[in-house]
Amino acid sequence: MDRLDNTIRPYAWGSTTAIPRLLGVEPTGEPQAEMWMGAHPGAPSRTPRGPLNEVIDKAPEHELGERTVARFGPRLPFLLKILAAGAPLSLQVHPDLEQAKEGYADEERRGIPVDAPHRNYKDANHKPELICALTEFDGLCGFRATDAAADLLAGLDVDSLKPYVDVLHAHPEDAALREVLTAVLSADPEEMTHTVTEAAAACARLGGAYAPYADIAHHYPGDPGVIAAMLLNHVRLQPGEALYLGAGVPHAYLSGLGVEIMANSDNVLRCGLTPKHVDVPELLRIVRFEAGDPGVLRPEASADGEEVYETPIDEFRLSRYVVTQGAAPHDLTRATPQILLCTAGSVRAGDQVLAPGESVFVPAEDKAEVSGAGTVFRATVAA
Protein backbone atom coordinates (compact mmCIF):
# COMPACT_ATOMS: atom_id res chain seq x y z
CA MET A 1 0.00 0.00 0.00
CA ASP A 2 1.06 3.59 -0.66
CA ARG A 3 0.89 6.47 1.80
CA LEU A 4 -0.91 9.41 0.19
CA ASP A 5 0.20 13.03 0.14
CA ASN A 6 -3.01 14.95 -0.56
CA THR A 7 -3.85 18.39 -1.90
CA ILE A 8 -5.96 20.79 0.18
CA ARG A 9 -8.18 23.06 -1.93
CA PRO A 10 -8.48 26.66 -0.62
CA TYR A 11 -12.03 27.47 -1.75
CA ALA A 12 -13.41 30.65 -0.22
CA TRP A 13 -16.18 28.85 1.71
CA GLY A 14 -13.68 26.62 3.53
CA SER A 15 -13.08 26.69 7.27
CA THR A 16 -9.77 28.21 8.37
CA THR A 17 -9.48 25.87 11.37
CA ALA A 18 -11.30 22.52 10.91
CA ILE A 19 -8.80 20.67 8.70
CA PRO A 20 -5.74 22.02 10.58
CA ARG A 21 -7.38 20.90 13.85
CA LEU A 22 -7.92 17.40 12.43
CA LEU A 23 -4.33 17.23 11.20
CA GLY A 24 -2.92 18.66 14.42
CA VAL A 25 -1.19 21.58 12.69
CA GLU A 26 -1.35 25.34 13.05
CA PRO A 27 -3.89 27.17 10.86
CA THR A 28 -2.45 29.32 8.08
CA GLY A 29 -5.26 31.87 8.27
CA GLU A 30 -6.40 30.88 4.77
CA PRO A 31 -9.56 28.84 4.09
CA GLN A 32 -8.95 25.08 3.75
CA ALA A 33 -12.08 23.64 2.17
CA GLU A 34 -11.38 20.15 0.81
CA MET A 35 -8.61 17.57 1.02
CA TRP A 36 -8.75 15.32 -2.05
CA MET A 37 -7.77 11.66 -1.90
CA GLY A 38 -7.77 9.81 -5.19
CA ALA A 39 -6.73 10.00 -8.82
CA HIS A 40 -8.77 12.95 -10.08
CA PRO A 41 -6.55 14.73 -12.63
CA GLY A 42 -7.39 18.08 -11.03
CA ALA A 43 -5.48 17.20 -7.86
CA PRO A 44 -4.26 13.59 -7.80
CA SER A 45 -2.84 12.23 -4.56
CA ARG A 46 0.92 11.83 -4.57
CA THR A 47 2.51 8.47 -3.72
CA PRO A 48 6.13 7.25 -3.43
CA ARG A 49 5.58 5.82 -6.92
CA GLY A 50 4.33 9.11 -8.42
CA PRO A 51 0.92 10.79 -8.80
CA LEU A 52 -1.81 8.21 -8.22
CA ASN A 53 -3.46 8.78 -11.60
CA GLU A 54 -0.16 8.04 -13.35
CA VAL A 55 0.44 4.97 -11.17
CA ILE A 56 -2.98 3.64 -12.21
CA ASP A 57 -2.45 4.54 -15.89
CA LYS A 58 0.69 2.38 -15.99
CA ALA A 59 -0.99 -0.80 -14.73
CA PRO A 60 -4.77 -0.35 -14.33
CA GLU A 61 -5.67 -4.02 -13.90
CA HIS A 62 -2.99 -4.52 -11.24
CA GLU A 63 -3.96 -1.38 -9.29
CA LEU A 64 -7.74 -1.52 -9.72
CA GLY A 65 -8.44 -5.21 -10.32
CA GLU A 66 -10.00 -6.84 -13.34
CA ARG A 67 -13.58 -6.42 -12.09
CA THR A 68 -13.22 -2.67 -11.56
CA VAL A 69 -11.60 -2.10 -14.96
CA ALA A 70 -14.24 -4.19 -16.71
CA ARG A 71 -17.06 -2.25 -15.03
CA PHE A 72 -15.70 1.32 -14.96
CA GLY A 73 -12.71 1.43 -17.27
CA PRO A 74 -9.04 2.01 -16.39
CA ARG A 75 -9.59 4.73 -13.79
CA LEU A 76 -10.39 4.97 -10.10
CA PRO A 77 -14.18 5.45 -10.14
CA PHE A 78 -14.46 7.41 -6.89
CA LEU A 79 -12.98 10.48 -5.20
CA LEU A 80 -12.68 10.69 -1.41
CA LYS A 81 -12.52 14.04 0.40
CA ILE A 82 -12.41 15.64 3.79
CA LEU A 83 -14.76 18.62 3.48
CA ALA A 84 -14.67 21.55 5.89
CA ALA A 85 -17.44 24.11 5.37
CA GLY A 86 -16.94 27.40 7.15
CA ALA A 87 -19.62 29.11 5.02
CA PRO A 88 -22.47 27.78 2.84
CA LEU A 89 -21.56 26.14 -0.45
CA SER A 90 -23.53 26.87 -3.61
CA LEU A 91 -27.02 25.41 -3.91
CA GLN A 92 -26.64 22.73 -6.59
CA VAL A 93 -27.78 19.55 -8.31
CA HIS A 94 -25.97 16.83 -10.26
CA PRO A 95 -27.16 15.09 -13.44
CA ASP A 96 -27.80 11.37 -13.81
CA LEU A 97 -25.52 9.34 -16.07
CA GLU A 98 -27.65 9.68 -19.21
CA GLN A 99 -28.08 13.43 -18.70
CA ALA A 100 -24.35 13.86 -18.16
CA LYS A 101 -23.51 11.98 -21.35
CA GLU A 102 -26.04 13.98 -23.36
CA GLY A 103 -25.01 17.32 -21.86
CA TYR A 104 -21.30 16.69 -22.32
CA ALA A 105 -21.74 15.56 -25.94
CA ASP A 106 -23.91 18.61 -26.70
CA GLU A 107 -21.40 21.10 -25.27
CA GLU A 108 -18.57 19.34 -27.09
CA ARG A 109 -20.49 19.61 -30.37
CA ARG A 110 -21.04 23.33 -29.74
CA GLY A 111 -17.35 23.83 -29.10
CA ILE A 112 -17.69 25.25 -25.59
CA PRO A 113 -14.25 25.04 -23.89
CA VAL A 114 -14.22 22.72 -20.87
CA ASP A 115 -12.87 25.54 -18.70
CA ALA A 116 -15.43 28.12 -19.92
CA PRO A 117 -17.30 29.73 -16.99
CA HIS A 118 -20.67 28.99 -18.63
CA ARG A 119 -19.86 25.32 -19.28
CA ASN A 120 -22.17 22.94 -17.36
CA TYR A 121 -20.68 19.53 -18.12
CA LYS A 122 -16.97 19.00 -17.47
CA ASP A 123 -17.19 15.26 -18.20
CA ALA A 124 -19.66 12.56 -19.26
CA ASN A 125 -20.14 11.02 -15.81
CA HIS A 126 -22.73 11.38 -13.06
CA LYS A 127 -21.85 12.57 -9.56
CA PRO A 128 -23.77 10.82 -6.81
CA GLU A 129 -22.20 11.61 -3.45
CA LEU A 130 -22.29 10.77 0.25
CA ILE A 131 -21.31 13.05 3.13
CA CYS A 132 -20.61 11.57 6.58
CA ALA A 133 -20.34 13.99 9.50
CA LEU A 134 -17.21 14.08 11.65
CA THR A 135 -18.58 17.02 13.64
CA GLU A 136 -22.09 18.41 13.87
CA PHE A 137 -22.85 19.18 10.22
CA ASP A 138 -25.57 21.40 8.74
CA GLY A 139 -26.92 21.09 5.23
CA LEU A 140 -29.90 21.40 2.92
CA CYS A 141 -31.17 18.31 1.12
CA GLY A 142 -34.21 17.82 -1.11
CA PHE A 143 -37.50 19.69 -1.22
CA ARG A 144 -39.71 20.20 1.80
CA ALA A 145 -43.37 19.22 1.57
CA THR A 146 -45.10 22.10 -0.22
CA ASP A 147 -47.35 22.98 2.73
CA ALA A 148 -44.30 23.17 5.01
CA ALA A 149 -42.42 25.36 2.51
CA ALA A 150 -45.47 27.60 2.16
CA ASP A 151 -45.79 27.98 5.92
CA LEU A 152 -42.09 28.84 6.27
CA LEU A 153 -42.33 31.56 3.60
CA ALA A 154 -45.64 32.86 4.95
CA GLY A 155 -44.10 33.26 8.41
CA LEU A 156 -41.76 35.93 7.05
CA ASP A 157 -44.73 38.21 6.23
CA VAL A 158 -43.03 39.59 3.12
CA ASP A 159 -45.60 40.80 0.55
CA SER A 160 -43.56 39.80 -2.52
CA LEU A 161 -43.38 36.19 -1.27
CA LYS A 162 -47.16 35.78 -0.90
CA PRO A 163 -47.72 34.70 -4.54
CA TYR A 164 -45.24 31.84 -3.97
CA VAL A 165 -47.13 30.84 -0.83
CA ASP A 166 -50.39 30.71 -2.81
CA VAL A 167 -48.85 28.56 -5.54
CA LEU A 168 -47.37 26.13 -3.00
CA HIS A 169 -50.76 25.70 -1.34
CA ALA A 170 -52.83 25.48 -4.51
CA HIS A 171 -50.90 23.37 -7.04
CA PRO A 172 -49.87 19.73 -7.19
CA GLU A 173 -46.51 19.20 -5.52
CA ASP A 174 -44.22 18.83 -8.54
CA ALA A 175 -45.89 21.64 -10.49
CA ALA A 176 -45.82 23.98 -7.48
CA LEU A 177 -42.15 23.41 -6.72
CA ARG A 178 -41.21 23.84 -10.38
CA GLU A 179 -43.25 27.03 -10.74
CA VAL A 180 -41.87 28.65 -7.59
CA LEU A 181 -38.22 27.74 -8.22
CA THR A 182 -38.54 28.98 -11.82
CA ALA A 183 -40.07 32.24 -10.65
CA VAL A 184 -37.40 32.81 -8.00
CA LEU A 185 -34.49 32.21 -10.37
CA SER A 186 -36.04 34.14 -13.27
CA ALA A 187 -37.26 37.20 -11.34
CA ASP A 188 -36.06 40.72 -12.03
CA PRO A 189 -32.70 40.92 -10.21
CA GLU A 190 -33.41 44.27 -8.56
CA GLU A 191 -36.83 43.17 -7.32
CA MET A 192 -35.46 39.86 -6.06
CA THR A 193 -32.62 41.61 -4.23
CA HIS A 194 -35.24 43.69 -2.40
CA THR A 195 -37.28 40.57 -1.57
CA VAL A 196 -34.24 38.70 -0.26
CA THR A 197 -33.19 41.69 1.85
CA GLU A 198 -36.64 41.84 3.47
CA ALA A 199 -36.72 38.07 3.96
CA ALA A 200 -33.23 38.05 5.49
CA ALA A 201 -34.17 40.73 8.01
CA ALA A 202 -37.26 38.73 8.99
CA CYS A 203 -35.19 35.52 9.34
CA ALA A 204 -32.72 37.29 11.63
CA ARG A 205 -35.55 38.71 13.74
CA LEU A 206 -37.47 35.43 14.04
CA GLY A 207 -34.55 33.05 14.66
CA GLY A 208 -35.33 29.41 15.41
CA ALA A 209 -36.14 27.54 12.19
CA TYR A 210 -35.26 30.71 10.27
CA ALA A 211 -31.75 31.06 11.71
CA PRO A 212 -29.99 28.96 9.03
CA TYR A 213 -31.43 31.16 6.29
CA ALA A 214 -30.39 34.34 8.08
CA ASP A 215 -26.84 32.97 8.08
CA ILE A 216 -27.06 32.04 4.39
CA ALA A 217 -28.28 35.56 3.57
CA HIS A 218 -25.40 37.02 5.59
CA HIS A 219 -22.94 35.24 3.31
CA TYR A 220 -24.93 35.81 0.08
CA PRO A 221 -26.84 39.11 0.48
CA GLY A 222 -29.51 39.60 -2.16
CA ASP A 223 -28.94 36.18 -3.77
CA PRO A 224 -32.16 34.49 -5.02
CA GLY A 225 -30.72 31.23 -3.74
CA VAL A 226 -31.69 32.39 -0.23
CA ILE A 227 -35.37 32.01 -1.16
CA ALA A 228 -34.70 28.80 -3.10
CA ALA A 229 -32.96 27.40 -0.01
CA MET A 230 -36.15 27.86 2.02
CA LEU A 231 -37.88 25.34 -0.23
CA LEU A 232 -35.45 22.65 0.99
CA ASN A 233 -35.17 20.49 4.09
CA HIS A 234 -32.69 21.75 6.66
CA VAL A 235 -30.70 18.82 8.11
CA ARG A 236 -28.36 18.72 11.11
CA LEU A 237 -26.19 15.60 11.14
CA GLN A 238 -24.54 14.31 14.28
CA PRO A 239 -21.07 12.71 14.03
CA GLY A 240 -21.35 9.38 12.26
CA GLU A 241 -24.58 10.25 10.44
CA ALA A 242 -24.61 10.71 6.68
CA LEU A 243 -26.60 11.96 3.69
CA TYR A 244 -26.71 10.38 0.24
CA LEU A 245 -27.27 12.86 -2.61
CA GLY A 246 -28.55 11.26 -5.79
CA ALA A 247 -29.10 12.80 -9.22
CA GLY A 248 -31.44 15.77 -9.43
CA VAL A 249 -31.64 16.37 -5.66
CA PRO A 250 -30.99 20.04 -4.80
CA HIS A 251 -28.63 20.41 -1.87
CA ALA A 252 -26.04 22.59 -0.17
CA TYR A 253 -23.63 22.10 2.72
CA LEU A 254 -23.74 24.91 5.26
CA SER A 255 -21.18 24.20 8.00
CA GLY A 256 -19.18 21.40 9.59
CA LEU A 257 -16.48 18.81 8.92
CA GLY A 258 -17.17 15.57 7.10
CA VAL A 259 -15.86 12.72 4.97
CA GLU A 260 -17.28 12.94 1.45
CA ILE A 261 -17.15 10.34 -1.31
CA MET A 262 -18.44 10.70 -4.84
CA ALA A 263 -18.25 9.30 -8.33
CA ASN A 264 -15.22 10.74 -10.12
CA SER A 265 -16.96 13.68 -11.81
CA ASP A 266 -17.08 17.47 -11.67
CA ASN A 267 -20.58 18.07 -13.09
CA VAL A 268 -22.52 20.69 -11.13
CA LEU A 269 -25.57 22.76 -12.03
CA ARG A 270 -26.02 25.64 -9.61
CA CYS A 271 -29.30 27.04 -8.26
CA GLY A 272 -27.87 30.02 -6.37
CA LEU A 273 -25.66 31.09 -3.45
CA THR A 274 -22.86 31.66 -5.91
CA PRO A 275 -21.38 34.32 -8.21
CA LYS A 276 -20.87 31.55 -10.78
CA HIS A 277 -22.99 30.76 -13.83
CA VAL A 278 -26.59 29.62 -13.23
CA ASP A 279 -28.14 28.01 -16.32
CA VAL A 280 -31.82 28.13 -15.35
CA PRO A 281 -33.30 26.15 -18.29
CA GLU A 282 -30.74 23.33 -17.95
CA LEU A 283 -31.10 23.34 -14.18
CA LEU A 284 -34.87 22.93 -14.45
CA ARG A 285 -34.35 19.98 -16.81
CA ILE A 286 -32.16 18.22 -14.23
CA VAL A 287 -33.92 18.97 -10.92
CA ARG A 288 -36.28 16.34 -9.58
CA PHE A 289 -39.27 18.18 -8.19
CA GLU A 290 -40.13 15.67 -5.50
CA ALA A 291 -40.63 16.52 -1.83
CA GLY A 292 -39.64 14.07 0.84
CA ASP A 293 -37.61 13.20 3.90
CA PRO A 294 -33.86 13.79 3.35
CA GLY A 295 -33.11 10.27 4.60
CA VAL A 296 -30.36 10.52 7.22
CA LEU A 297 -28.17 7.41 7.02
CA ARG A 298 -26.65 5.56 9.94
CA PRO A 299 -24.09 2.83 9.36
CA GLU A 300 -25.12 -0.80 9.38
CA ALA A 301 -22.71 -2.96 11.38
CA SER A 302 -21.56 -6.36 10.16
CA ALA A 303 -20.19 -9.26 12.18
CA ASP A 304 -16.55 -8.31 11.49
CA GLY A 305 -16.97 -4.79 12.86
CA GLU A 306 -17.36 -2.99 9.54
CA GLU A 307 -20.00 -0.24 9.61
CA VAL A 308 -21.33 0.32 6.09
CA TYR A 309 -23.17 3.35 4.69
CA GLU A 310 -25.51 1.71 2.18
CA THR A 311 -26.11 3.55 -1.12
CA PRO A 312 -27.78 2.48 -4.39
CA ILE A 313 -24.79 2.99 -6.70
CA ASP A 314 -21.70 0.96 -7.60
CA GLU A 315 -18.90 3.51 -8.08
CA PHE A 316 -18.20 3.78 -4.37
CA ARG A 317 -18.78 2.09 -1.05
CA LEU A 318 -17.97 3.90 2.21
CA SER A 319 -17.61 2.20 5.58
CA ARG A 320 -15.75 2.70 8.82
CA TYR A 321 -14.04 0.66 11.51
CA VAL A 322 -13.66 1.73 15.12
CA VAL A 323 -10.59 -0.26 16.19
CA THR A 324 -9.59 -0.88 19.79
CA GLN A 325 -6.17 -1.45 21.29
CA GLY A 326 -5.32 -5.12 21.74
CA ALA A 327 -8.11 -6.44 19.52
CA ALA A 328 -7.32 -8.76 16.60
CA PRO A 329 -6.52 -6.92 13.35
CA HIS A 330 -9.34 -6.47 10.84
CA ASP A 331 -8.54 -8.08 7.47
CA LEU A 332 -9.64 -5.61 4.75
CA THR A 333 -8.11 -7.42 1.77
CA ARG A 334 -10.43 -6.95 -1.21
CA ALA A 335 -10.51 -7.53 -4.98
CA THR A 336 -11.14 -3.81 -5.57
CA PRO A 337 -8.96 -0.72 -4.92
CA GLN A 338 -9.25 0.97 -1.53
CA ILE A 339 -8.35 4.20 0.22
CA LEU A 340 -8.08 3.99 4.01
CA LEU A 341 -8.41 7.25 5.95
CA CYS A 342 -7.79 7.69 9.67
CA THR A 343 -10.03 10.30 11.33
CA ALA A 344 -9.30 9.68 15.03
CA GLY A 345 -6.67 8.06 17.23
CA SER A 346 -3.77 6.08 15.77
CA VAL A 347 -4.42 3.28 13.31
CA ARG A 348 -1.94 0.83 11.78
CA ALA A 349 -2.74 -0.07 8.17
CA GLY A 350 -0.30 -2.72 7.02
CA ASP A 351 3.14 -1.31 7.75
CA GLN A 352 1.86 2.30 7.91
CA VAL A 353 0.83 4.10 11.10
CA LEU A 354 -1.86 6.68 10.36
CA ALA A 355 -2.70 9.75 12.43
CA PRO A 356 -5.94 11.72 11.90
CA GLY A 357 -6.17 13.02 8.32
CA GLU A 358 -3.60 10.54 6.96
CA SER A 359 -4.47 7.97 4.31
CA VAL A 360 -3.16 5.12 2.15
CA PHE A 361 -4.05 3.64 -1.23
CA VAL A 362 -4.39 -0.15 -1.31
CA PRO A 363 -4.27 -1.79 -4.77
CA ALA A 364 -6.77 -4.55 -5.52
CA GLU A 365 -5.92 -7.89 -3.89
CA ASP A 366 -3.13 -6.38 -1.76
CA LYS A 367 -3.06 -7.54 1.84
CA ALA A 368 -4.69 -4.94 4.08
CA GLU A 369 -5.06 -5.23 7.86
CA VAL A 370 -5.96 -2.48 10.32
CA SER A 371 -5.39 -2.38 14.07
CA GLY A 372 -4.62 0.13 16.83
CA ALA A 373 -6.99 2.48 18.61
CA GLY A 374 -9.01 4.88 16.50
CA THR A 375 -11.38 5.29 13.56
CA VAL A 376 -10.59 4.46 9.95
CA PHE A 377 -12.85 5.06 6.94
CA ARG A 378 -12.66 2.61 4.05
CA ALA A 379 -13.47 3.84 0.54
CA THR A 380 -13.75 1.25 -2.20
CA VAL A 381 -15.95 0.09 -5.09
CA ALA A 382 -19.28 -1.61 -4.55
CA ALA A 383 -19.25 -3.62 -7.77
Quote the CA–CA distance of 88 and 139 in Å, as a whole number.
Answer: 8
- Note whether 187 and 223 are within 8 A (CB): no
Q: Crossing angle for the helix pair 146-154 and 173-186, nearest 10 degrees?
A: 40
- Note whether 372 and 13 are within 8 A (CB): no
Q: Strand, coil or helix: what is 213? A: helix
Please say if 270 is a catalytic residue. yes
Residue type, 305: G
258's CB contacts (< 8 A; 6+ apart) are 82, 83, 131, 132, 133, 134, 135, 137, 237
Quote the CA–CA distance of 374 and 12 in Å, as a whole number.
Answer: 31
Catalytic hit among 75, 144, 270, 320: 270
Sort 327 into a burial class: Cβ within 10 Å, 0-12 / 13-18 / 19+: exposed
Quote the CA–CA distance of 113 and 119 in Å, as a whole number.
Answer: 7
- Note whether 267 and 96 are within 8 A (CB): no
Give DSSP secondary structure letters for 15-49.
BSSHHHHHHT----SS-B-EEEES--TTSPPEETT
- Note whether 43 and 343 are within 8 A (CB): no
Quote the CA–CA distance of 260 and 78 in Å, as a whole number.
Answer: 10
Give catalytic residues, as residue numbers: 270
